[in-house]
Amino acid sequence: MEDKNKPVLDQLIRKAFPQVSTLTYKITEYSLNTAFSFKFDNLEHFVEFLKQHQSIEEQETELLENTLKDLNLQTHSFFYINFYEENATDESE
């Protein structure tokens, strides 16, 4: 089956991810309402997303699972990956 989203995702990765690489990220159960807040239905959804552009080994999936658990997030529930500028949050303190 053809993935109709693939051209959009490829373009997003080429154009937006270089900017994302300079940002800080936080995994939360809510959106930080940033330009780069991404919601995933669960860990399986996130892993499937990653597999579209790279290979993911069992050990890496386990690491992701443990990371979510350390953050008190359920692997079967939705979560957000929020990218933001570090200095933007420091100014409000």
60-72 pLDDT tens trace: 999 999 999 999 9
Residues 67, 15 contacting (CB under 8 angstroms):
no
User: Cα Rg for the chain, rounded, in angstroms?
Assistant: 14
Give tens-digit pLDDT for 18-65. Answer: 666 677 889 999 999 988 888 999 999 999 988 887 888 999 999 999
Q: Is residue 7 part of a domain?
A: no
Inter-residue contact 81 to 27 (CB < 8 Å): yes
Amino acid of residue 82: N
User: How many structural domains does the chain have?
Assistant: 1
Is 6 within a domain? Answer: no
Distance separating alpha carbons of residues 87 and 62, to the nearest angstrom? 32
Q: Is residue 31 one of the residues assigned to a domain?
A: no
Say if 92 falls within a structural domain.
Answer: no
Q: Is the pLDDT of residue 88 over 60?
A: no
Residue 69: give the domain boundaries: 41-86
